[in-house]
Amino acid sequence: MNKKIKISELPDFDMAEHLNDDKAIAEYLAIVLDENDPGALAGALGTIARARGMADIAESSGITREALYKALRPDASPRFDTIQRVFSALGLKLTIKHG
**Which residues, at least 6 apart from 31, have a Cβ–Cβ distance to it below 8 Å?**
none
| pTM confidence score | 0.83
How confident is the model at residue 45, as a pLDDT? Answer: 95
Q: Which residues of 18-55 are buried (b: 16+ CB within 10 A; e: fewer)?
A: ebeeeeebeebbeebeeeeeeeebbbbbbbbbbbbebe
What average pLDDT values come out for the chain (99 residues) when binned by 10 residues? 83 92 93 91 95 96 96 92 94 82
